[in-house]
Amino acid sequence: MTRTPLRPLARILAARKEGENPDAIERENLARRHEAARDGQRERAEGRLLVLGVVFLCAFFMVALKMTALAASDPAEPRAAASGAQIVATRADITDRNGRILATNLTTHSLYAQPPQMIEPVRAARALARIFPDLDEERLIRQFTGERKFIWIKRRISPEQQQAVFDIGEPGLLFGPREMRLYPNGKVASHVLGGAGFGREGVSSAEVVGVAGVEKAMDDVLRDPGRGDVPLALSLDLTVQAAVERVLEGGMRLMNAKGAAAVLMDVHTGEIVSLASLPDFDPNDRPRPLTSGDPGDSPLFNRAVQGVYELGSTYKIFAAAQGIEERLVSRSTVIDTRGPLTWGRHKIRDFRNYGSELSVEDIIVKSSNIGTARIAMMIGTERQQDFLGQLGLLEAAPIELIEATGARPLLPPNWSEISTMTISYGHGISASPLHLATAYASLLNGGRKVTPTILRQDAPTLGPRVVSEDTSRQAREMLRAVVTRGTASFGEVPGYRVGGKTGTADKPRPQGGYYEDKVIATFATVFPADDPRYVLVVTLDEPVETSGTEPRRTAGWTAVPVAAEVIRRAAPLLGLAPAVEPPALTGVTLARSD
Amino acid sequence: MTEMVYGSVPTRDGEPILPRWWRTIDKWSISCVLILFGIGLLLGLAASPPLAERNGFGAFHYVERQVAFGMMAMVTMFALTLMSPQTIRRLGVLGFAAAFVALLLLPVFGTDYGKGATRWFSLGFGSVQPSEFLKPGFIIVAGWMIAASNEVAGPPGKTWSFAIALFIALLLALQPDFGQACLVLFGWGVMYFVGGAPFFVLAGILGLTLLGGAVAYQNSEHFARRIDGFLSAEVDPTTQLGYAANAIREGGFLGVGVGEGTVKWSLPDAHTDFIIAVAAEEYGLILVLVIIALYMTIVLRSLFRLMRERDPFIRLAGTGLACTFAVQAMINMSVAVRLLPAKGMTLPFVSYGGSSVIASGILIGMLLALTRVRPQGEIRDYLIRSGR
């Protein structure tokens, strides 16, 4: 484009000649130039605006495309790190070893009132008092018409009661869900299960917490939401537990005992197959703890775990086994048993005079205190403590029941030589039936220590060796002899080769000394004695057998028959077949060929 | 006689106001704006109850407020569209001066609402964000200056307006509000571009922006955190971005249903910065595409009308307004789909916020006033050219 000068000389001269103002020409040219510049700018702006428009179009399309791509993809939920773990908010169920339910949950409702929402408070109060006879009508009316905005009426109500409250039709009466613990088997295994109650409570939910037994000891595990809906499997066998409880209750009545306990343990794993304590209770409706008297008489008291008793002569086998293990004696070693054995100002006597000397086996069979004390003197205090410690008799039992932690064995404050002697026959030392069962299982299963447990184990637990296989076998044979020809002759159950040791201990008076006519009778057994599977400890509290002319209290007359009946009933349930005795060879003559 | 007795019938020169308005206004754009505002209220019904619940108000407290502010914005918008470009320019300059002073006073009287940025003046009934009101005013002023500089022997308006833009951007960056700072620079850049920038200068500006971003990244923790969150390849699903992306995925094409969305419960800014995620979750991709189409219609129609505009000021100011509006919408949506790093920028007319919706009303009102059809002297042009 040729540039036009603002004052082209030719036009200026021509204009001057015409007498016109030459500035007009300059202005015209200036305006032209402006116009040309604007035109140029406009054209450029048009192009650039088009570019802008295209850019925006593309940008919006890009956003739309990205949005479409995102919308078409699958959502990725923010997940917890452990994928596949199911989260269950309710307390885990408890089952026996075969999966039968021992404790589960049930949804019930609590009932509360919000008086500001009430339409007819007086009528509602009357109707409520009719449904729940324990509620005071006047008090309800006072509460409903008062200032309060929120009133708890009932913690738990049944579905029928809930329906009845619904039928009142009062909008100010409201229900909150209440998960509650249900024990469908009632009293069976009540001491093991313990019970559960409400912890922190809100309107719409309440925490269920264990208050006793395995429910409390395993509370964290049962409440763990990460557990999923896997129930907690106990080692108990529901059928065996029911049978043991039934037989034990009958035995307790027959023997006029005020209490009884039984522990049935698998000798190889330490699993408690049955644990019973009488009197018992219904965990669905736990009684209140006794406010007066001996807490040991409460039905809540678990005699098998919490009851620490002097278990008497059942301890003798420990002394004999240790003596054999240490090669101090053998089964046939003859020990002087002339009584009384005097040590300082103490005199040790036997129940009867068993003659001047007995073999070690006969000391066990006849239950001689003097003989056992002499073996204990050979062993010495330190080794005895060490051995009893290995058997778990000096510590609280490590079982998953909250009561066990408080039941430490009672030991002499000063373990002198006379203590060593009395402890060898089970006096001056107290432990629970559970302790005794654990010690028997450890000693008799081949000599491997077991740890008692209430949870189902999937494999045998091999603890450290306590005694040799051979000592264990000899101990079983001595116990078998106690049943076949000793103090526990009522304990024979045909086909199950029961071996065991009786123990009768005078009950200590709270004031000191011992009662003359109150005993704890215990029978600790292993069966079958040649291939040990189970250990059973039966303890009766203050039994009296009155069928004879004079009352008999020794374990041989009280605890032993009860234990035998338990084995007779429980062994088939445990899957043990009775050993078939070879038929008597009557009328057949063996012919020898030579 | 009649005229002598009663006075003459007043004559109008030209058309009556409303018919002329109706004839010349961009009816498509104004319809789009009204639809966007309606969508905003609809989404507000979904997105704001969680916030109202947290702050202890009735469920639709914020929707009611938004309706009130929206009405004010609509009235402002209609009033502005009725005005001539000259009046718009005058008002714009005055408004710019007021907003500029307010922005300067922000460090003294402003309130920090606990988000690490002082952006608001707290008034009794609500809060005002001056930077929202500054944008339309600034664009008018800058457009005026750039247009003047293009006249033969005009003032150096490009330099002046660039200095103002830089100063405002600096003030905003100090708040810190990098989003608005970028927006102001972008608005100036667009006008400079349309106003005839040489290409090497454009390239230089691009370079400077990148450099400035790098410097900000080095020196501002607030800024760096957002950029880092964007650059990391994997979205942490517990961040705002993660929730937003997930909400869009959940929504799919047709949405999870009205009121069924969950993202509004987990995102604190669901009613403002991430409103598009709420829209995508509850109403699906369809509504999102409708929203994008509405914004696109407004911007492209405005640019198209401005292409035919002969007045340089109207052209430049209109371009600046339209592009700022479009970019703000685009940045907001791009953040939700992770095309851009997170910025505190609202979706015009759709997001909750009194300042935002009124400022958007002012901006669009000015834009629509500038894009009205007016005689462009094309016939004269034609006659002169052909006569020469």
**pLDDT single digits (tens) A144-171:** 888 888 888 888 888 888 999 989 888 8
Interface test with B, best of A6, A35, A56, A62 (most B CBs within 10 A): A56
Measured CA to CA, the distance from residue A569 to residue A576 in angstroms comes to 11
Say what percent of chain A tops pLDDT 70. 94
Cβ distance A48 to B194 less than 8 Å, yes or no, reads yes
Peptide bond into A279 cis (omega under 30): yes
Per-residue pLDDT tens over the stretch A88-123: 567 888 999 999 999 988 888 889 888 888 888 888
Per-residue pLDDT tens over the stretch B202-242: 788 778 888 888 887 777 776 777 666 666 555 666 667 77
Distance from CA of A22 to the nearest CA of B (A): 21
A1 touches chain B (CB under 8 A): no
Q: Which residues of B touch A52 (CB under 8 A)?
A: 190, 193-194, 303, 319, 323
Q: What is the structure's pLDDT at A583?
A: 63
Q: Which residues of A touch B196 (CB under 8 A)?
A: 41, 44-45
Higher pLDDT, B108 or A130: A130
* Whole-model pTM over 0.80: no
Cβ distance B242 to A78 less than 8 Å, yes or no, reads yes
Interface test with B, best of A49, A56, A68 (most B CBs within 10 A): A49
C-alpha dist (Å) from residue A329 to A368, A373, A442, A475, A485? 16, 13, 21, 13, 22
**Strands A101-113 vs A341-343: parallel, antiparallel or unpaired:** unpaired
From the list A49, A67, A76, which residue is nearest B194 (CB)? Answer: A49
The residue with tokens 């603890």 is A463
From the list A41, A49, A60, which residue is nearest B292 (CB)? Answer: A60
Distance from CA of A206 to the nearest CA of B (A): 26
State phi, psi for A342 to the nearest 5 degrees.
-105, 130
- A and B: number of Cβ contacts within 8 A: 111
Per-residue pLDDT tens over the stretch A518-546: 889 999 999 888 889 999 999 999 998 88
**Nearest residue of chain B to residue A78 (CA atoms):** B237
Cβ distance B307 to A76 less than 8 Å, yes or no, reads no
Cβ distance A48 to B253 less than 8 Å, yes or no, reads no
ipTM of the predicted structure?
Answer: 0.87
Q: Which residues of B touch A74 (CB under 8 A)?
A: 249
Q: For residue A494, what pLDDT band results from cuts at 50, 70 and 90?
A: confident
The one-letter code for the residue type at B284 is: G
Pick from B67, B64, B39, B68: which is nearest to B52 by CA?
B64
Cβ distance A52 to B285 less than 8 Å, yes or no, reads no
Domains A94-233 and A240-286+298-573 share a fold: no
Domain ranges within chain B, ordered by starting residue: 19-373
Q: For residue A238, what pLDDT band results from cuts at 50, 70 and 90?
A: very high
Interface of A with B in 230-289 (CB under 8 A): none
Pick from B369, B370, B350: which is nearest to B360 by CA?
B350
Q: Which residues of B touch A1 (CB under 8 A)?
A: none
From the list B152, B238, B280, which residue is nearest A71 (CB)? Answer: B280
Domain ranges within chain A, ordered by starting residue: 94-233, 240-286+298-573
Q: What is the sign of the dihedral through the CA atoms of B365, B366, B367 and B373?
A: positive
Per-residue pLDDT tens over the stretch B324-369: 999 999 888 888 887 777 667 888 999 888 888 999 999 999 999 9
Distance from CA of B190 to the nearest CA of A (A): 8
**Nearest residue of chain B to residue A45 (CA atoms):** B194
Interface of A with B in 32-61 (CB under 8 A): 33-34, 37-38, 41-42, 44-46, 48-50, 52-53, 56-57, 59-60
CATH architecture of the domain A94-233 equals Alpha-Beta Complex (3.90)
Cβ distance A76 to B310 less than 8 Å, yes or no, reads no
From the list A33, A50, A66, which residue is nearest B337 (CB)? Answer: A66
What is the distance between the terminal CA atoms of chain B, rounded to a whole angstrom?
51
Interface of B with A in 284-323 (CB under 8 A): 284-285, 288-289, 292, 295-296, 299-300, 303-304, 306-307, 310, 312, 315, 319, 323
- Average pLDDT for A55-70: 89
Interface test with A, best of B281, B337, B376 (most A CBs within 10 A): B337
**Residue B176 per-residue DSSP state:** T
The residue with tokens 């070893």 is A97
Backbone torsion region of residue A513, taken as left when φ is above 0, otherwise alpha when ψ lies between -120 and 50, otherwise beta: left
E-assigned strands of A213-356? 232-233, 259-266, 272-278, 334-336, 341-343, 346-348
- Provide CATH code, domain A240-286+298-573: 3.40.710.10
Q: Is the pLDDT of residue B74 over 80?
A: yes
Q: Which residues of A touch B333 (CB under 8 A)?
A: 63, 67
Are residues A468 and A484 in contact, defined by beta-carbon separation less than 8 angstroms?
A: no
**Strands A232-233 vs A94-95: parallel, antiparallel or unpaired:** parallel
Distance from CA of B18 to the nearest CA of A (A): 30
**Residue A542 per-residue DSSP state:** S
Q: For residue B377, what pLDDT band results from cuts at 50, 70 and 90?
A: confident
Q: For residue B125, what pLDDT band results from cuts at 50, 70 and 90?
A: low
Range in A79-93, A343-357, A435-449, B39-53 with the lowest mean pLDDT: A79-93
Cβ distance A50 to B307 less than 8 Å, yes or no, reads yes
A291: Cβ contacts below 8 Å, ≥ 6 apart: none
Cβ distance A41 to B295 less than 8 Å, yes or no, reads no
Cβ distance B339 to A62 less than 8 Å, yes or no, reads yes
Pick from B367, B295, B286, B283: which is nearest to B334 by CA?
B295
C-alpha dist (Å) from residue A89 to A105, A208, B73, B235? 11, 11, 51, 30
Say what percent of chain B tops pLDDT 70. 88
B37: Cβ contacts below 8 Å, ≥ 6 apart: B70, B73, B74, B349, B350, B357
Cβ distance A77 to B246 less than 8 Å, yes or no, reads yes
State phi, psi for A201 to the nearest 5 degrees.
-120, 135
Q: Which residues pair with A523 in a beta bridge?
A: A502, A538
Range in A364-368, B26-30, B256-260 with the lowest mean pLDDT: B256-260
Cβ distance B330 to A59 less than 8 Å, yes or no, reads yes
Pick from A100, A86, A258: which is nearest to A193 by CA?
A100
Measured CA to CA, the distance from residue B84 to residue B81 in angstroms comes to 8
DSSP H helices, B156-239, are: 157-174, 178-194, 199-219, 221-231
